[in-house]
Amino acid sequence: MKGEVNPETDFHFPATPLDAIDARIAEQLLSEALASGGEHADLYFEYRSSCDFAFEEGRVRSVGRAIVLGLGVRVVRGVASGYAYTEELSEARMLEAARTAGQIASHGGSPAPVALAAKSLPSFYPVRELSLSRSGEEKVALLRRVDAAARAYDPRIVRVEAGYAEGWSDVLVVSSDGTMARDRQPMVRLGVNAMAEDQGKRQSGRSGTAKRRGLDLFAEPGSTPEDHGREAARLAIAMLHAQEAPAGPMEVVLAAGESGILLHEAVGHGLEADFNRKQTSNYSGQMGKQVASSLCTVVDDATITGARGSINVDDEGSPGGRNVLIENGILVGYMQDRISARHFGTKPTGNGRRESFRQPPMPRMTNTLLLAGNDDPQDIIGSVARGVYAKRFSGGQVNISNGDFVFSLTESYLIEDGKLTAPLRGVNLIGNGPEVLRNVTMVGHDFLLSDGTWTCGKDGQSVPVGIGTPTVKIAQITVGGTKAA
């Protein structure tokens, strides 16, 4: 078997077992899947190769390598679907999976699938060389550089942990509507956690990046191992003597970039079409209505070159796209998979995603963004007499049905008389996603796509995503702290 050439990169992809899957085999499997009366069927073939390195206290702690191979078969009838998968791509096993998935329907007389045709795809991650083709020594050298930079930043850095992960997926999506789409999806990830200690106090800081790129990513300004090592150390040192957070309703300024996680969790999930089809989202029945400040335009964009959440094609065979969800405060769209799009009488938006061949697809975000406005970031901070500047986020909890959220901050600062002053610790933001968007009063012109290693969970499935925002002023959010504001 020969690897294929991507015309966008002039790069030879390694051969995989998916090279043996042709239209004849796929049509046979689709016919078997639809034999019991299904209305639609699709096949998701996946080959994934990955490797990871963990580096701790100046030594390689572990190295892992994994190969994943399999086929998932879905048969849809109405809003119901049957699903089965196999980890063995033998004809017998694949046909068995197709028959099992088809048992969702039992009416017979299903039309045969149409003839398959290969779909031409865009190329949003044109890597010149897969990172997996480079030596392990090169990846360990990256981690040593991270470690050295963090320790050199300040003698109070007492512990450094770093990790590197890489992989690529070869996926083939075949559908009974005639689609046959194949994609190769690379990913590299670098992360570091630094711990600082001073006078019995300890704080940690983190930094990292993850993109659909090759090792060339780590030669770019802002993305070098040294950049991330120093940034993790800077945050750990900055937080050593942070003061207790104020508590109560306050003005909050969300920093550009990482604050997009609040948008993703508190607003983005509510705009996924399955929640709205089932009437469990706060945005159900709100299409065409004002749901946010007129300063807010929210998009989900899978077309950003090299971004962690970008996809050339979704896991149902629809091309990745740029979808406007909220435009100038008006709800104009949901993120659609095939089943929900049929319910709403519209087209899939390229948001049908799954963790692997073992799970069926469902509506998921890709890169979810609040677009830039016209305000100067310094003017935004300068307009706040007393409030909180939220720069980095950690975990959070969100109720999809009403948008209520609680988020913890790992880096934040007190704003006093229009200036950033003391670093804060123990800050939580408590509020409601739709209400926060309605309370946006200023939007900066400094949009930033976060470099973070973001992964989104939903119904037990995890997928890589991207987030981004400009600097944003919120008129009021409840700050959960330890002393009165």
Q: Are residues 402 and 443 in the same domain?
A: yes
> Residue 396: what pLDDT?
76
Q: How far apart are CA 132 and CA 66, in angstroms?
A: 12
pLDDT tens, the chain, 485 aa long: 233 444 444 467 889 999 999 999 999 999 999 998 899 999 999 999 999 999 998 999 999 999 999 999 999 988 889 999 999 999 999 999 999 999 987 666 566 677 898 888 999 999 988 999 999 999 999 999 999 999 999 999 999 999 999 999 999 999 999 999 999 999 999 999 999 999 999 999 999 999 999 999 999 999 999 999 999 999 999 999 899 989 999 999 999 999 999 999 889 999 999 999 999 999 999 999 999 999 999 999 999 999 999 999 999 999 999 999 999 999 999 999 999 999 999 999 999 999 999 999 999 999 999 999 999 999 999 999 999 999 999 877 888 888 899 999 999 999 999 999 999 998 999 999 999 999 999 999 999 999 999 999 999 999 999 999 999 999 999 998 665 55
Q: Are residues 58 and 16 in the same domain?
A: yes
- For residue 184, give the CATH number of its domain: 3.30.2290.10
Q: Considering its fold, how many domains does the chain have in total?
A: 2
Cβ atoms of residues 12 and 3 within 8 Å: yes
Q: Are residues 229 and 294 in the same domain?
A: no
| Residue at which a domain ends, from 186, 206, 238 | 238
Cβ atoms of residues 112 and 28 within 8 Å: no
| Residue at which a domain ends, from 238, 256, 284 | 238
pTM value is 0.94
Q: Are residues 87 and 234 in the same domain?
A: yes
3 state DSSP class of 363: strand
Q: Are residues 225 and 366 in the same domain?
A: no
Which neighbouring-strand residues pair with 256?
A: none
Q: Are residues 249 and 217 in the same domain?
A: no
Q: Are residues 215 and 263 in the same domain?
A: no
Q: Are residues 319 and 446 in the same domain?
A: yes
CA angle, 198 then 203 then 206, to 5°: 135
Cβ atoms of residues 71 and 85 within 8 Å: yes
| Residue at which a domain ends, from 207, 238, 269 | 238
3 state DSSP class of 154: coil
Q: Are residues 232 and 251 in the same domain?
A: no
| Number of helical (H) and strand (E) elements in the chain, helices listed first | 9, 28
* Residues sharing a CB contact under 8 Å with residue 457, sequence separation 6 or more, in sequence order: none
Q: Which residue range forms the structural domain that includes residue 338?
A: 244-484
Q: Are residues 383 and 446 in the same domain?
A: yes
Residue 444, CB-side half-sphere exposure with 13 Å CA sphere = 24
Distance (Å) of CA 469 to CA 101, 118, 270, 345, 473: 41, 36, 18, 31, 12
The two beta strands, 461-464 and 455-458, are antiparallel
Q: Are residues 226 and 250 in the same domain?
A: no
Q: How far apart are CA 403 and CA 281, in angstroms?
A: 8
Q: Are residues 55 and 180 in the same domain?
A: yes
* Residues sharing a CB contact under 8 Å with residue 365, sequence separation 6 or more, in sequence order: 264, 268, 269, 272, 300, 309, 335, 351, 456, 465
Locate 4 and state its tokens: 């294929």
